[in-house]
Amino acid sequence: MSGDVLKERPALFLGSRLKRLAERMQGDVVGLASEAGLEIQPSQYSLLATLDRYGAGTIGELTQAMQLSQPAITRMAAKLADMGLVTIDRLRKDQRHKTVSLTEAGQRALDRSKRLVWPGVEAAVEELLEGLQGAFLAQIDEIEARLAEKPLGARARAHIGGGLRIHEFSDALAPLFRSINAQWIEAMYSMEPTDRDVLDHPRERIIDKGGDILFVEADGLGVVGACALQKTGDGQYELTKMGVLEAARGRKVGEFLLRAMLARARRKGARRLYLLSNRKSAAAIHLYEKLGFRHDEDIMREFGARYARCDVAMLYPRG
């Protein structure tokens, strides 16, 4: 049987078309999770991620936070409880006040997912959607065509490939944050007071103030890259202190790291994301431009004085 009625009547069957697209993408995520030794379904990740970010919550609170039906949340929580990833307790005798919490096994599974599954999927979806233009229904046609050419799983594996893995900030990794960045700063410029303050106190200056720091590990080389997201206002962040060791150049570590950090900024609800640089960092500026940053004079006027070496200011477009 030839033809595709969902594409022939796109407005009439929009819901079915989106469901088909979701099932196709989620099927690839199932494969990626399985390769990482995880049995979590893509639809279950949203509940686990909500508990991870906001802490334990009642079924009612989770329903409101996730904007899904109460029966759907109840079924999802029950399945995760059977898997040992969450516990379900009652605060009171009232059945409506069942509280869902991550177990230690659930937290370990989520941490493993953050390292081995999520960065690749987020980078793959960013790649898939890059440069889409036109009407919404035409964009769906293009997304399906791109997936037919190269499935989401293959795209994700390409980003995960090369033996690259993302690590969250820890105090044990703090010295590497300094040494990785000191290498490129001292090779190309000179260390400024602002540099020393942030590199010597990453937890106090970045993490504790609502920012984030990510690291990249490469097979056979250890941790070779780092990047920070420094909160500078309500919904406003500076992408800063992004460095890759010379030994790892040519493995697309910078792009892998930058895509992971852009995804992190979106999860934090960043409404304004900017960076400050120098024209001597031509390769880095080319990468920023490739992933969507645009030169911005307003950012230069507002923040450029932070570094004596700054002669480039860029803004990441919203939406």
Q: Is 49 exposed, middle or buried (0-12, 13-18, 19+ CB in 10 A)?
A: middle
Q: What is the model's pLDDT at position 194? A: 92
Contact 241, 189 (CB under 8 A): no
Give Dmax (Cα) for the chain.
Answer: 69
Residue type, 41: Q
Helix (H) or strand (E) holding 240: strand 236-244
**Arch. (CATH architecture) of 5-160:** Orthogonal Bundle (1.10)
Within the chain, which residues score under 50 in pLDDT? none
Q: What is the model's pLDDT at position 107? A: 93
Q: What is the model's pLDDT at position 297? A: 95
The total number of residues written for the chain in this structure: 319
Q: Considering the entire predicted model, what is its pTM?
A: 0.57
Domain with CATH 1.10.10.10 in the chain: 5-160
Q: What is the model's pLDDT at position 161? A: 57
pLDDT tens string 78-114: 999 999 999 998 655 555 578 999 999 999 999 889 8
| CA atoms in the 13 A half-sphere facing the CB of 142 | 13
Sign of CA dihedral 275, 281, 284, 289: positive
Q: Are strands 236-244 and 272-277 parallel, antiparallel or unpaired?
A: parallel
Residue 132 phi/psi, 5° resolution? -65, 135
Q: What is the model's pLDDT at position 66? A: 92
Cα-based distances in Å from 12 to 7, 15, 16, 137, 310: 10, 8, 9, 11, 53
Q: CATH number for 164-316: choose from 3.60.15.10, 3.40.1710.10, 1.10.240.10, 3.40.630.30.
A: 3.40.630.30
Q: What is the model's pLDDT at position 294? A: 95
Q: What is the model's pLDDT at position 97? A: 73
* Cβ neighbours of residue 67 closer than 8 Å, sequence gap 6 or more: none
Cα-based distances in Å from 268 to 54, 186, 210, 236, 261: 12, 31, 9, 10, 10
Q: What is the model's pLDDT at position 82? A: 92
Domain with CATH 3.40.630.30 in the chain: 164-316
Count the helix, strand and coil residues of the chain and give each as a percent rounded to the nearest 5: 55, 20, 25
Alpha carbons 80 and 87: distance in angstroms, whole number: 8
* Cβ neighbours of residue 69 closer than 8 Å, sequence gap 6 or more: 63
